[in-house]
Amino acid sequence: MKILSGIQPSGQLHIGNYFGMMRSMIANMDSSELYAFIVNLHALTSVHDRERLARDTFNAAADFLALGLDPEKCIFWVQSDVPEVTELTWVLSTLTPMGLLERCHSYKDKVAKNLFASHGLFSYPVLMAADILIYQADKVPVGKDQKQHVEVTRDIAIKFNNTFGETFVIPEPVIDDNLAVVPGLDGQKMSKSYGNTIPIFQDQKALKKQVMAITTDATPVEAPKDPEKCNLFAIYKLFAPADRLAETHALYVNGGAMYGKVKLELVDLIWEYFRAAREKREKLENDRAYVHAVLGRGAEKAREKAVVTLNLVKERTGLKY
Ligand code: ADP
Ligand code: TRP
């Protein structure tokens, strides 16, 4: 079973990315053939700043490793280091109906938020399809927002197979329905593009400032509160051990929960939760050559797989003459 997913280096990785995607990828390391990569070509649709893109690409890779991704147990690389994927993108784009891309919510949402409506942003799902199909992935763990893109990938793969003969595995999205979307500081979905995130790696002072800024309502301390409707509690739940969670839950339900106290406890919980990862992250920061070597080896392995699929595609389509 091949499991594949990617993450954009378009800003600091946050706890929503961790609980939404990275944690399940890391948990799959022992049971599957795992492909994890940093999608810098996709990030180029929104980041046109050389230093920022290069820095965030390195940081996303180091963050993933620090959080426990073991490069011996998976293939881990940077998307642009496998140029075959852009070659496949072109072939797939000649089979992709315009209407399929015109229906994509992600494109429409991004343009509504004033992102530059480039051809690259429009054809973003075709590059994502090439990412998935070139490695013949069976399963693609993603958040709800990416489900449509995996469906587009399936449509393109089916169209290719019908036109040129069986070539691609038809992948399936894996969406954890139990995991509610992690809310951000303002209660909307936590997202790099909304500026409402809690980054995984930062100093304690910045962490405290963010957690203290989580929006809460004005219910008095002694009044009962519904924990399921409180975004502070939703984040607290991700980090608190069972006994603390039960006590705080009871204070919410029976009255007596002080948001300020819950926030202070949450700062400590988050700080402790990522302590080991933070230490590892600091080591990686001081050994940048190691991170580059890991990515170099990963790209070689990924490329070997990609070339096999691309050769098949060239044969099937007549590009090989
Ligand atoms: P962002 O919205 O911060 O730019 P990405 O689009 O790069 O995040 O998402 C990378 C992965 O992290 C995706 O699989 C996405 O579903 C997941 N993810 C992002 N934000 C959240 C969130 N708030 N809750 C759960 N999962 C999330
Ligand atoms: N589009 C995905 C996102 O924004 C990132 C991505 C690119 C991806 N290629 C992928 C995810 C392939 C899964 C598989 O989150």
CB neighbour list of residue 11: distance below 8 Å, 6 or more residues apart: 56, 192, 193, 197
Closest-CA residue, ligand 1 atom 22, reads 16
Closest-CA residue, ligand 1 atom 2, reads 191
Centre of ligand 1 from the C-alpha of residue 262, in Å: 25
Nearest atom within ligand 2 for CA of residue 143: 15
| Residue 193 pLDDT exceeds 80 | no
CA distance 164 to 179: 39
Residue 180 — pLDDT band, cuts 50, 70, 90?
low
| Residue 193 near ligand 1, beta carbon < 6 Å | yes
pTM: 0.94
| Residue 160 pLDDT exceeds 80 | yes
Among the ranges given (153-157, 189-193, 223-227), the one the predictor scored with the smallest mean pLDDT: 189-193
Which residues carry out catalysis? 110, 189, 192
Average model confidence (pLDDT) for the chain?
A: 95
Report, in angstroms and rounded to the nearest whole number, the Rg of the chain calculated over CA atoms.
21
**What local confidence, expressed as pLDDT, does residue 63 receive?**
97
- For a mutational test of ligand 1's pocket, the pick from 191, 197, 200, i.e. the residue with the most ligand atoms closer than 8 A to its C-beta, is 191
Among the ranges given (30-34, 128-132, 203-207, 309-313), the one the predictor scored with the smallest mean pLDDT: 30-34
**What local confidence, expressed as pLDDT, does residue 113 receive?**
84
The residues lining ligand 2, judged by C-beta closer than 6 Å to any ligand atom, are 4-6, 8, 39, 42, 128, 131-132, 140, 142, 146, 149
**What local confidence, expressed as pLDDT, does residue 176 receive?**
79
- For a mutational test of ligand 2's pocket, the pick from 149, 154, 169, 172, i.e. the residue with the most ligand atoms closer than 8 A to its C-beta, is 149
The amino acid occupying position 111 is V
CA distance 143 to 105: 14
**What local confidence, expressed as pLDDT, does residue 302 receive?**
98
| Residue 133 pLDDT exceeds 80 | yes
Spelled out in words, what is the top-level CATH class assigned to the domain 2-181+288-317?
A: alpha beta
- For a mutational test of ligand 1's pocket, the pick from 12, 14, 21, i.e. the residue with the most ligand atoms closer than 8 A to its C-beta, is 21
| Residue 24 pLDDT exceeds 90 | no
CA distance 163 to 165: 6
Each residue's pLDDT tens digit, 36-71: 999 999 999 999 999 999 999 999 999 999 999 999
CA distance 242 to 75: 35
Closest-CA residue, ligand 2 atom 13, reads 5
Centre of ligand 1 from the C-alpha of residue 161, in Å: 31
- Which numbered ligand comes closest to the C-alpha of 131? 2
Centre of ligand 1 from the C-alpha of residue 78, in Å: 18
Place of tokens 């199909």: 133
Contact indicator for 196, 185 with CB cutoff of 8 Å: yes
Report domain extents, the chain: 2-181+288-317, 202-273
Backbone CA torsion sign across 168, 127, 163, 317: negative
Spelled out in words, what is the top-level CATH class assigned to the domain 202-273?
A: mainly alpha
Centre of ligand 2 from the C-alpha of residue 147, in Å: 10
Contact indicator for 61, 163 with CB cutoff of 8 Å: no
User: Average of pLDDT values for 226-231?
Assistant: 94
| Residue 190 near ligand 1, beta carbon < 6 Å | yes
**What local confidence, expressed as pLDDT, does residue 214 receive?**
97
User: Average of pLDDT values for 88-112?
Assistant: 96
Each residue's pLDDT tens digit, 231-278: 999 999 999 999 999 999 999 999 999 999 999 999 999 999 999 999
Output the 3-class SS for the chain.
Answer: CEEEEEECCCCCCEHHHHHHHHHHHHHCCCCCEEEEEECHHHHCCCCCCHHHHHHHHHHHHHHHHHCCCCCCCCEEEEHHHCCHHHHHHHHHHCCCCHHHHHCCHHHHHHHHCCCCCCHHHHCHHHHHHHHHHHCCCCEEECCHHHHHHHHHHHHHHHHHHHHHCCCCCCCEEECCCCCCCCECCCCCECCHHHCCCCECCCCHHHHHHHHHCCCCCCCCCCCCCCHHHCHHHHHHHHHCCHHHHHHHHHHHHHCCCCHHHHHHHHHHHHHHHCHHHHHHHHHHHCCHHHHHHHHHHHHHHHHHHHHHHHHHHHHHHCCCC
**What local confidence, expressed as pLDDT, does residue 45 receive?**
95
| Residue 177 pLDDT exceeds 80 | no
Contact indicator for 131, 39 with CB cutoff of 8 Å: yes
Among the ranges given (57-61, 168-172, 191-195), the one the predictor scored with the smallest mean pLDDT: 191-195
